[in-house]
Amino acid sequence: MNFEKTTFAFFIVLALTLNFGFFIGDIDNPSHHDAMELAAALVVSIIATILKLGDRSSMGATFLATSLVADLQLLLAAIFWGWALFVTTEGVTPEVVARVVSLSGGALLANLVSVTLLVAETIIYRR
C-alpha cells in the first residue's frame, strides 16, 4: 500500500463528502447549510490541492485543475457568506444562501470529476 496515494485519495474523497454535506438541503434555507461545514470543506479542499502540487503527470495536472476550481468556488462562497454576515445590513438572507449553495454546487461538480479521475487512474494502474 502506498501511503502517499492513500492520503491523497483520503483528502479528495473527504473534500467531496464535506462539500456534499453542505450542499444538500433546500437551496435557500439557512438552517440546512452550516457555515462550519463550508469552512471545513474549504480547508480540506485546500489541503487536497496542496497534496496535488507534486504530481507532474498529465493526470496530475487535471487533478490540480479540478482542485483549483473547487477551491475557487468554495472560497467565493465563503467570502460571499462572510460579506453578507459581517458587512451588509440585511445579513444572511435566503437569496444569499442560494448563491452560496450554488457556488458550492460548482465545487461539488469539480470534486466529482476529481474522484472520477481518481477511480479511473486506480483502475488503469491495477491493469
**Length of the chain, in residues:** 127
Domain boundaries, the chain: 3-126
Greater confidence (44 vs 91) lies with 44
- What pLDDT, on the 0 to 100 scale, is given for residue 126? 64
Alpha-carbon torsion 32, 33, 34, 35, what sign? negative
Per-residue model confidence (pLDDT) at position 43: 97
For 18-63, how does the pLDDT look when each residue is reduced to its tens digit (9 = 90+)?
Answer: 999 999 999 989 889 999 999 999 999 999 999 988 778 888 899 9
Percent of the chain past pLDDT 70, that is, above it, reads 98
